[in-house]
Amino acid sequence: GALITPENRAKPGDTLIIYITGIGGLDVEPLSGAAASDSPLSVSTVTPTVTVGAVPVEVLFAGLAPNFVGLGQINIVLPDVLPQAAGLPLVIIYGNNRSQSLQLLMAAPQ
């Protein structure tokens, strides 16, 4: 439940929550202007591909963030083996759309 910062870097095996916009089709559409429900969840009809350091990561959930209006959420698990670097590019691909790369701050290997 903590932000990734220079003092609190991501580690292999961590579960991360990524907030996004422009998620596309959903299996359960909330009413226009209404917050997304937490039961049932509004799940994306397309599962995104997420890579960290060009390594595909497991997507646990992609849909609307519960109790928010129009905010998308992707939950991922970082693999146990990733390239060793202080920052790795994180990219989300949704259908034919590709996000800009951002640097995910990574902890030094132990």
CB 87 within 8 A of CB 105: yes
What pLDDT is attached to residue 50?
A: 98
In the predicted structure, residue 37 carries a pLDDT above the cut 80: yes
What pLDDT is attached to residue 23?
A: 86
- Helix, strand or coil for residue 53? coil
> Which residues, listed in sequence order, are joined to residue 75 by a DSSP beta bridge?
17, 61
Mean pLDDT across 5-27: 94
What pLDDT is attached to residue 51?
A: 97
In the predicted structure, residue 109 carries a pLDDT above the cut 80: no
What pLDDT is attached to residue 24?
A: 85
CB 20 within 8 A of CB 87: no
Entry pTM: 0.94
In the predicted structure, residue 94 carries a pLDDT above the cut 80: yes
